[in-house]
Amino acid sequence: MGRWEPDARGRLAAAAMELYVERGFDQTTVAQIAERAGLTERTFFRHYADKREVLFAGTGEFQSIFLDAIAAAPAGASPMDAVAAALTAAGQMFAGLRDGARVRQGVIDAHPELRERELIKMATLATSIAEALRARGVVEPAASLAAEAGVAVFRVAFERWLVEDAEPSLARVLDDMLAELRTVTAA
């Protein structure tokens, strides 16, 4: 109790993912996660509010990467160019993380409540991107449409990246999907 646990957070996350895959999310308890990690339940709750939180702990950082990139885009960048810069930054964040992302996605896909949470996460991202674009002076409806288009590209690209045989970088797949969206929507 109270003693320093080296990388307790990472150990708990790894133990949780193992158990979600082995037993299913519903059948896994916080006690089992703590035991697998060689830690106490109390330590678990110092790091995560509940067992669902382990899967969504990166949401804040994920969203910040988009918003920071939009804020940092050159003043003359179009709304869609600012969104493209955000997609590239988000793609780079996932470099080398595909195996973990696949495992996480498998757990989420198997569970309606987790799929809903993921939908809410992406809807919140779209709302936040629109807000970041408005902060750059982009007016409506361009801000909301560019934000929704960007999240649509991310969603389609991410799903594709997870199942590709070769392992392209997510940044590359995002770039391809954005080009494809531009083609599809061209009048």
Query: Residue numbers of the site for its own copies (CB under 8 A)?
Result: 78-80, 116, 119-120, 123, 140-142, 144-146, 148-149, 152-153, 155-156, 160, 177, 180-187
Of the two residues 93 and 145, which places its CB atom closer to its own copies in the complex? 145
Q: How far is the CB of 171 from its own copies (least distance, A)?
A: 16
Shortest reach from residue 155's CB to its own copies, in Å:
7
How many angstroms from the chain centroid is the CA of residue 171?
14
CB nearer to its own copies: pick between 6 and 74: 74
Q: Which lies closer to its own copies via its Cβ, residue 15 or residue 138? A: 138
Q: How far is the CB of 160 from its own copies (least distance, A)?
A: 6
With respect to its own copies, which residue has the nearer C-beta, 39 or 178? 178
Q: Which amino acid type is present at position 175?
A: D
**Cα gap 90→86, rounded to integer Å:** 6
60 vs 185, which CB is nearer to its own copies? 185
| Smallest separation, CB 157 to its own copies (Å) | 8
Contact 71, 132 (CB under 8 A): yes
Largest CA distance in the chain: 64
Residue 65 backbone dihedrals phi, psi, to 5 degrees: -60, -45
Q: What is the 3-state secondary structure (H, E, C) of 121-179?
A: HHHHHHHHHHHHHHHCCCCCCHHHHHHHHHHHHHHHHHHHHHHCCCCCCHHHHHHHHHH
Q: How far is the CB of 151 from its own copies (least distance, A)?
A: 8
Task: Give the Cα separation of 66 and 166 in Å (integer).
Answer: 26
